Structures are given as structure tokens and as C-alpha cells.
Amino acid sequence: MRRVATYIGFLRAINLGATRKFPKDAIRAAVEAAGGTDVETYINTGNVRFDTRLRSRARIERTLEEVFEADRGFDVPTIVFTPVQLREIAERAASFGHRGRHYVSLLKEEPSPAAVAAVEALATAEEVARVSGRAVHLLLGESYHEARLTNAVIERHLGVATNRNLTVIEALVDRWGG
């Protein structure tokens, strides 16, 4: 019998406008339909913890995306990490000592060194991007909504990503361990 492993999934671009609704209870039910067990969600921005017998990150993401699209009728890019990986992202964030707005773009794929260099070269005195594996730490000034370094910019350079503020990342680490 295969052992289960725990993963944390981050759903991209849900609950935006009237046509991309995906409530927490529906996410839970869909993850269970995909074979997930011990499923929990946190706030209504697409954060879900689950156990699965699947081991391949790509297969887990693909399976969830297929079930989500069948359930919702629209594409839901999904990015998964283990609790340990998420804890490492939070610990890396602490090393920056940044006192402004801190967001993390979670990447579907690990970027190439050239792509990392291109993103990090976009830094200004007020905004910095630090890439660490499949996480891009966006160290911003006071207003996220006026920032030039956004998740859209990250996606143009590094591929599919979803963005959370550091407070949410830390809350998930506290809640779901690692």
C-alpha cells in the first residue's frame, strides 16, 4: 500500500469577477473527487491542503487542474508545494529583512538562470525581486497596486505563477506545518 503525502495547492486566478467563482467548499469537494483526503482550505483565495497517494508534482497539478476545469468550466492553473517547501519559502523571506510590502509569486516551474537574471535586473530602489527556486519574493514599497513588479510581470518572464502576500504564506506554514 502506498503511503500518502501532504501537499499544499495554490489555485491561480479564482474568485475574480462574476465568472471565475470557486468557493472553498467547492474546492474541497473537487480535491476529494481527485482522490485527495484530509482536505482543508484557508481563506477564499485558493489555498488548499490535502493528502494524496500521488507522488509526481506534475501529475498532482495536472489531475487537480482537470478536475477543477470539469467542475468549474474554466481553467484553474494549480501550483503545489510540500509543507517543508513552503516553510523554506517563509524562512527565506525572513532573511531579506524587508520592512515594506512582501509578496511571493509561486511558480509552476523552476526558472532558468537567464530568466532569473532578467527578472532580478528589473529591480529599482523601491522594488526588488529575489528568485529562490520556484518562489519569487517581491519586496515592494507601500502600495502593491502601484508596483511595477507584479505577478503579471513575473509570469511574462518566468511562466505560470500565483501570488500571495507573505502574511498568508506565514499563516499557512503556521497552520499546516512543514
Encode pLDDT of 22-57 as tens digits: 999 999 999 999 999 999 999 988 999 999 999 899
36: alpha, beta or left, given left = phi > 0 and alpha = psi -120 to 50? beta
Q: Measured at the alpha carbon of residue 17, what is the angle toward residues 49 and 155, in degrees to the nearest 5?
A: 65
Structural domain range at position 101: 84-176
What is residue 145's DSSP assignment?
G
Share of the chain above pLDDT 70, in %: 98
Please state the domain count of the chain.
2
pLDDT of 62 reads 97
pLDDT of 84 reads 96
Torsion of CA 83, 25, 10, 57, to 10 degrees: 70
Of 14, 47, 81, the domain-final residue: 81
| Interval 134-158: pLDDT, tens | 999 999 987 777 889 999 999 999 9
Res. 178: pLDDT tops 70: no
Rounded average pLDDT over 111-124: 96
pLDDT bin (cut points 50, 70, 90) of residue 122 is: very high
Residues 92 and 74 in one domain: no
Please state the pTM of the whole predicted model. Answer: 0.93
Rounded average pLDDT over 74-97: 94
Q: How far apart are CA 46 and CA 24, in angstroms?
A: 7
Q: Please state, in angstroms and as integers, the Cα–Cα distance from residue 45 to each residue in 11, 20, 27, following that order.
A: 8, 12, 11
Quick check: 131 and 117 in contact, CB under 8 A? no
Residues 133 and 166 in one domain: yes
Residue 70 maps to which CATH number?
Answer: 3.30.70.1280
Residues 108 and 158 in one domain: yes
Of 58, 81, 104, the domain-final residue: 81
The grid cell for 168 is 498568508
Of 42, 64, 81, the domain-final residue: 81
Residues 114 and 57 in one domain: no
Residues 69 and 134 in one domain: no
Quick check: 122 and 140 in contact, CB under 8 A? no
pLDDT bin (cut points 50, 70, 90) of residue 1 is: low
Mean predicted lDDT score pLDDT of the chain: 93
The grid cell for 135 is 518562489
Quick check: 153 and 118 in contact, CB under 8 A? no
Residues 106 and 165 in one domain: yes
Strand pairing of 101-107 and 47-52? unpaired
Q: How far apart are CA 69 and CA 112, in angstroms?
A: 29
Residues 157 and 89 in one domain: yes
pLDDT of 44 reads 85
* Helix or strand run (H / E) with residue 140: strand 135-140
Residues 114 and 169 in one domain: yes
Rounded average pLDDT over 158-170: 95
Residues 119 and 76 in one domain: no
Residues 93 and 164 in one domain: yes
| Interval 90-116: pLDDT, tens | 999 988 887 789 999 999 999 999 999
Q: Which residue is associated with the grid cell 470539469?
A: 70
